Amino acid sequence: MSVIHGQNFLMVPGPTNVPDRVQRAMHRNSTDHRAPDFPEITHSVLKDLKKIFCTETGRAFVFSATGTGMWESGLTNCLNPGDTILTVRLGQFSLLWIDMMERLGFNPIVLDVEWGEGLPVDKIKAHLMADRAHKIKSLCVVQNETTVGVYTDIPAMRRVLDETRHPALLMVDGVSSIASLPFKMDAWGVDVSITGSQKGFMLPAGLGLLAASQKALKMSETSTYPRCFFSWRDMIVNNDVGYFPYTPSTPFLHGLREALDMLLEEGIENVWERHHRLATATRLAVKAWGLKPIAKKESEQSDAITAVLVPAGFDGQEIVATAYQKYNLSLGGGLMKVKGKVFRIGHIGDINELTLLGTLAGVEMTLRDVGIPVKLGSGVAAASEYLQSTGVPLRGLN
């Protein structure tokens, strides 16, 4: 084995890099989760988590789980066995959520779109309009489909529900968008907001984070779906007095506390803006290489991840393997339907201009290595021209 120098460039769209501050906050002994002062951390984390979900009226939950667990938590707390759900399959994650709906005995009506497209707003509206008996109990959509880098229009979902006067719950998977891309739970009337710790929150995988509106909480009081580990009621009873219904990972809670501090110190809107700048620079680089994102509409191209279409005759998997083996650069591969057809650059979480430019340099060299004729430096030049000329913000010194 040869010695590997320098750090791995972890540029997959999650898990993302864990900042030193967060690592240090987590590097501690376990603490007594029944201690009299334990409620301080529980209450402070739950209070500030709401600021990231942009909700004042909702309620935040922290589970020892991942985003997948929060899909289950949302479905089983609000709905009843056999309930009808309207949903859209736009990539691997929406596909897996739908698979879960079926396996848990719900009845999803699935609208399929070509991978790379966003939500079919008119078709969704037509289904809601036709549902006079209000059989559809929830509209479940993924805000940022990580497989294809498509950022969907959640306010449009609220609009169609309002326009059709449909009472279905709006459940949103924000696993790769919350804490990195615009997400406004109250303003957009989202009822269940689902995410995990390993993307915008800059933590390792291991926490499932969720927020529920008053309407969702009310439905959870009468839902007959059996649940145990993911029960909101058990969590509420314990959280109200500052504890958890099971042993929480205390180092993780301290990590979350530090990550929340970082997000709030930067300001959530500045976090969104930083992701937008870095994503714009990435897209300029992709264009300079003569390549294209798979996300069709410009307005839907994700600010968290760019899935780049690989020219015919080349293999995206080879690009990902080469980047890792030659340059210690981790890129995302294509999943399922788009396996081999795309490679994915994550630009989410704790990254800055130079992290991105180093990544783009690694991508260009890799593309050359596999035989795709790109001009070395072309993507880096396009991205750095944009980043430098639009003003890299001065760091506050403290």
- By beta-carbon proximity to ligand PLP, the closer residue of 73 and 213 is 73
Give CA–CA dist 53/264, Å, rounded. 12
Taking the complex as a whole, how short is the minimal distance between the CB of residue 205 and ligand PLP, in angstroms? 6
Give CA–CA dist 70/173, Å, rounded. 9
8 A C-beta contact, residue 170 and residue 158: yes
- By beta-carbon proximity to ligand PLP, the closer residue of 351 and 374 is 351
Taking the complex as a whole, how short is the minimal distance between the CB of residue 179 and ligand PLP, in angstroms? 13
Taking the complex as a whole, how short is the minimal distance between the CB of residue 164 and ligand PLP, in angstroms? 26
- Helix or strand run (H / E) with residue 329: strand 329-330
Residue type, 338: V
- By beta-carbon proximity to ligand PLP, the closer residue of 17 and 176 is 176
- By beta-carbon proximity to ligand PLP, the closer residue of 147 and 164 is 147
Taking the complex as a whole, how short is the minimal distance between the CB of residue 387 and ligand PLP, in angstroms? 26
* Residue whose entry in the numeric block shows the structure tokens 């020892």: 64
Taking the complex as a whole, how short is the minimal distance between the CB of residue 324 and ligand PLP, in angstroms? 18
- By beta-carbon proximity to ligand PLP, the closer residue of 143 and 164 is 143
Taking the complex as a whole, how short is the minimal distance between the CB of residue 173 and ligand PLP, in angstroms? 5
Annotated binding site for substrate: 344
- By beta-carbon proximity to ligand PLP, the closer residue of 175 and 383 is 175
Name the nearest CA neighbour of 93 among 104, 105, 101, 85: 101
Q: What is the dihedral sign for C-alpha 107, 128, 194, 18?
A: positive
Residue nearest to ligand PLP (CB): 67
- By beta-carbon proximity to ligand PLP, the closer residue of 66 and 282 is 66
Annotated binding site: 344
Taking the complex as a whole, how short is the minimal distance between the CB of residue 296 and ligand PLP, in angstroms? 18
Give CA–CA dist 195/198, Å, rounded. 9
CB atoms within 10 A of CB 319: 24
CA dihedral 320, 322, 327, 331 (to 10 degrees): 0
Phi, psi of 228, deg, nearest 5: -140, -75
Binding footprint of ligand PLP on the chain (CB under 6 A): 14, 66-68, 93, 142, 144, 146, 173, 175-176, 196, 205
8 A C-beta contact, residue 205 and residue 349: no
DSSP 103-168: HTT-EEEEEE--BTB---HHHHHHHHHH-TT--EEEEEEESEETTTTEE--HHHHHHHHHHTT---
